[in-house]
Structure 1
């Protein structure tokens, strides 16, 4: 947290620079935090008869007030959540504008988020209680169901997809009430802010597979994120942790997901079944809505679920110091707390949240070949894939232990056959070996399964292939004119020689067709085609149809990489 001071008060205690400042009709008690785009304040509004209502005021920072994209997101957040009325969703009361820019007045929630709660439990070397986790996740599911099925006052369905469900955005008040926060990047019908084609927003370790791929989302995407959160709270370890954001995104797409009961034996099998259904990579296999998932949790372990009183008791035990600090800040607005009390309260509230969930040793990404990555804070919203983070040839050579064992056994048999003079038998066994052991995949410095983010005013991008790598590893092959253009289907016939095609225009996403068959979406990686010449049709983002002649050589991969559409 960043605090500014303007002098010294009682007995040399610092005075909060913002105290007494007015933002619209709200008087500031203190600044709570500063992020990359906005700052938060504790404030209040007064009325007749000693009326006072405390709020959190969110104000856009001066250096981003000219950022139209962020301003649209800010307005969307206000418009979307101001219409909500659900006990488990933090409310927005007011939207205003003054010389200092736009501001939101939101519900002041005296409590802690799930990262802080799990951190407090880790400091005590104890597990988050099972009943606490089940009750929190159930309430989050009901809050999401309300958002996913929201109907505007006009009666028009206006579903809202949160897109950033994670521990940091779920709070539990000191009274035991669960609150879902931060619809700042939510997607709703009629949103002012439009996500650019190929961009992905969210917290990388908690995205759904379809979110990672940049596909259209529905409410089931949020339920996958709930499943990740639930798995981590039950097992006490990160589920999709990696040394880079790209690693985390790839694990979401491919990494095996262990049953919670196999990692944490205290988790009932029925509860584990709920988690695994939420974590189905095919959205059609997940719960159809948040209410169904909430009911499944209750059916699996209704007797274990804590009520609000039990949650409040746990919060008092874990956060007695922070509860006292919150009271001191509120009393300071009444003028009944000393400067030293307020200063002590601020230090307590901005103290470290403690350790984040550790990484399970069986899935830890090695730093230097043998050292597991320790628990770390979940990745920021928009992931970055740098050249240094791309897979290396050493990574590609890492076969699983089962594959290595199978390979060693079979090659041992081959060696014995050779030593025995059975050359013919050795050749037969060698062929069997080649068909049994999976080949080492060709190393790619980017992956078609990750969404490609176009650069837009400095926007951080993920899944992007570094320009210098294109020049070094994928030299452009000029098409060879060896006859009239023909269109063939991309399905190779049995016995017909084939090759592979990789095609990309830097930073672009576009569908690619061969005849009437869609080969995929750019970037195209290693798509198998019959050897020979083909004419591809590409529909660029502006709707312009483009043709490209490619020559596929049998047994080879033709790589075509262009800097822009003009080079195509």
Structure 2
């Protein structure tokens, strides 16, 4: 027997993280009805945070409407035993990051037309979310803020789905995220996102452009050894055309990618639909085979062994089933439930009221409606018996339609900004800090998390770290009271790193100068060459003076120069008669 969670059998634990857990589950109904889906649960301590739950419900009202072929669909948002959860469609496939790695392991790269298919379909899902409006025609202003290979899923049927919509802002509030704090994966952020500025749909277009660039070149675009370096690269936004890194790319893609990755949002595609059309037009002009059927056939090749095993052994593929315990308190059957019968959720009216069930208006959330004589029981109109306090009594309503997808990590997802938002209660006085930092491109971390240079924080002790390439990092720990305050900080330049390199010339013995300083004669082992660019002058009797640049980056590098003879020196040489001396 599999452990149960409400009306779901938990078959397998798929993942877990700082916010909740993910399970492969089965929903059963009458007459042998059975459906596989995914259940995501919130951790108990988040379910007790009223502020978190309020935000979660607000965003659920919006994400319930994100029904699109390229967005993972969510079926239900509810609670069992005090544990909030949502059920969503079960997608047979892999995220783009794992697909990329599987292709590398197989030695079969993902073909360029199929890369374009994935990105184009992802752009279609983004455009739907960006342009979503309420029933009064007002835009919701949805911005994903965490587009990355991990959040783009490719199904074995050739479909492309965006996943992890919904609770970025709620997650941030639960974790006491400060105003201006960064949300998302640093290496897939836009320059304006890194700067802590307001973002719109064009930030998602930039992130999708990063994914396209990396798939085409096989290299990470902004990822560096540390978060600080990664953020600095995103801020600088120096993007090489993909064809420079992969000369085998067909022509025409560079312009599409670079437009999506423009540093200024005004220079990018205005909408994800424009980005999508640019890719589709390129595919048509090149007569490329890039339908979802082609993508499905490619995945069958990459995952042939897995698909064969799944066909023989089922979705668990022979693995031991989940043995529990189920999240929170597992409800037990009672009341009018017959053996083997699974309770179902009540229906939901447009205005948020629980619909009457079984033709009666006095049925509560913890009762089971008895159908009238001759009426066929409808599982969608039956109540649930979770054994938990009624959510309606605590929150005034219950949502059993599709809601928001819970993120299982600290990653930020979609942030919804409704056109009309109820006034929030006044916040307690906070410290509003403005850091006047030199150099201006320094990266700021507040209490260990990246932050903008202007931020709010609760009064008290704050730890501020400032870092910049070529400067000595500085840490400030001080107490700040409420109100606006400006904090001037000037970082000191760090001593340059030095490396040992070799400078050789033809002919040997040439004098090597940097400015007016004589470094030595070639071949010269330069033991204290500072990291960076050096402009050198090379001189030798009878030869033209040569100037050249070297960029010192690591130990052991060798730089070679060739000097050219003066014409007068050539004339004074004896003629070459083709006679060589014998030794």
Q: TM-score, normalising length from structure 2?
A: 0.56
User: What is the CA distance between 1:224 and its match in structure 2?
Assistant: 0.3
Q: Distance in 1 between matches of 2:269 and 2:473?
A: 46
Q: Which stretches in structure 1 are left out of the alignment for 5+ residues?
A: 1-18, 347-378, 383-440, 477-503, 513-521, 528-568
Distance across 1 between alignment mates of 2:124 and 2:271: 9
| Structure 2 partner of 1:120 | 102
Cα 1:258/1:331, change in 2 over 3 Å: closer
Check conservation: 1:324, 1:345, Cα contact below 8 A: no
The alpha-carbon distance between structure 1 residues 508 and 215, as it changes in their structure 2 partners (threshold 3 A), is farther
Q: Is 1:313 aligned to 2:297, yes or no?
A: yes
- 1:291 aligns to 2:273 (yes or no): yes
Structure 2 Cα separation of the partners of residues 183 and 88 of structure 1:
12
Q: Following TM superposition, by how much is the alpha carbon of 1:20 offset from its aligned partner in structure 2, in angstroms? A: 2.1
**CA apart distance, 1:40:** 0.5
**1:81 aligns to what?**
63
Instruction: Pick the structure with more helix per residue.
Output: 1
Instruction: Please list the CA deviations of residues 352-407 of structure 1 after superposition, one character each: whole Å capped at 9, or x if unmatched.
Output: xxxxxxxxxxxxxxxxxxxxxxxxxxx9748xxxxxxxxxxxxxxxxxxxxxxxxx
Question: Which whole-Å CA distance do the structure 1 matches of 2:192 and 2:483 have between them?
Answer: 16
CA distance in 1, matches of 2:77, 2:410: 26
1:242 and 1:248 in contact (8 A); partners too: yes
Q: 1:49 aligns to what SS in structure 2?
A: helix
| Structure 2 residue 319 is matched with structure 1 residue 342 | yes
Q: Do the aligned partners of residues 474 and 312 (structure 1) sit closer, same or farther apart at CA in structure 2, a change above 3 Å counting?
A: closer
Gap change, CA 1:474 and 1:169, over 3 Å in 2: closer
Counterpart selection for 1:270 from 252, 269, 274: 252
Q: Is the 8 A contact 1:69 1:193 kept in 2?
A: no
**TM-fit CA distance, 1:186:** 4.9
Distance, in Å, in 2 between the alignment partners of 1:46 and 1:106 is: 15
TM superposition shift of 1:254: 1.0
1:168 has 2:136 as partner: no
Cα offset, 1:150, TM superposition: 0.3
Question: In the TM superposition, what whole-angstrom CA distance separates every residue of 1:52-100 from its partner, at most 9, and x where no partner exists?
Answer: 2211000012344334565456545543332111100001100011214
Q: Report the Cα distance in structure 2 between the residues aligned to 1:75 and 1:294, rounded to whole angstroms.
A: 32
Write the distance in 2 (CA, Å) between the matches of 1:91 and 1:263: 37
Matched, 1:214 2:200: no
Task: Name the Cα RMSD after superposition.
Answer: 4.0
CA distance in 1, matches of 2:62, 2:78: 15
- CA shift in 2, pair 1:314/1:524, >3 Å: farther
CA separation of 1:247/1:81 partners in 2, compared to 1, >3 Å: closer, same or farther?
A: same
Cα offset, 1:33, TM superposition: 1.2
Q: What residue is the counterpart of 1:451 in the other structure?
A: 452
C-alpha distance in 1, partners of 2:279/2:483?
Answer: 40
Q: Within 5 Å, give how 1:122-521 maps onto structure 2.
A: 122-186=104-168, 196-302=178-284, 303-304=287-288, 306-327=290-311, 330=314, 341-343=318-320, 381=411, 446-447=443-444, 451-452=452-453, 464-465=465-466
1:234 is paired with a residue whose SS is helix
Residues 14, 24 of structure 2: 8 Å contact kept = yes
Larger radius of gyration: 2
Does the CA contact (< 8 Å) of 2:145 and 2:203 recur in 1? yes
Aligned partner of residue 97 in structure 1, secondary structure: strand
Contact 1:170 1:178 in 2 (8 A): yes
Separation (CA, whole Å) in 2 of partners of 1:325 and 1:255: 44
The superposition leaves residues 243-269 of structure 1 with CA deviations (integer Å, 9 ceiling, x where unpaired) of 111211110011521100111112233
Partners of 1:22 and 1:109 lie apart in 2 by 21
State the alpha-carbon separation in 2 of the partners of residues 173 and 248 from structure 1: 31
Consecutive unaligned residues in structure 2, runs of 5 or more: 324-408, 413-437, 492-583
**Residue-by-residue CA offset, 1:153-180 (whole Å, 9 max, x unaligned):** 4543223111100000000100000000
TM norm structure 1: 0.57
1:98 to 66, 80, 86: 80
Match of residue 574 from structure 2: none
> Counterparts of 2:463 and 2:281 in 1: how far apart (Å)?
40
CA 1:77–1:443: 2 relative to 1, 3 Å: closer
SS at match of 1:288: coil
- Which secondary structure state, in structure 1, belongs to the residue aligned with residue 319 of structure 2? helix
- Aligned mates of 1:238, 1:226 — CA distance in 2: 13
CA 1:473–1:279: 2 relative to 1, 3 Å: closer
Q: Is the 8 A contact 2:25 2:36 kept in 1?
A: yes
| Aligned residues of 2:465 and 2:475 also touching (Cα < 8 A) | no
Q: Using CA pairs under 8 Å that are at least 6 residues apart, name the structure with larger relative contact order, 1 or 2.
A: 2
Q: Which moved more, 1:174-183 or 1:192-201?
A: 192-201
- Matched residue pairs, number? 367
SS class of match (2:262): coil
Per-residue Cα deviation, 1:517-568 (whole angstroms, up to 9, x for no partner): xxxxx666669xxxxxxxxxxxxxxxxxxxxxxxxxxxxxxxxxxxxxxxxx
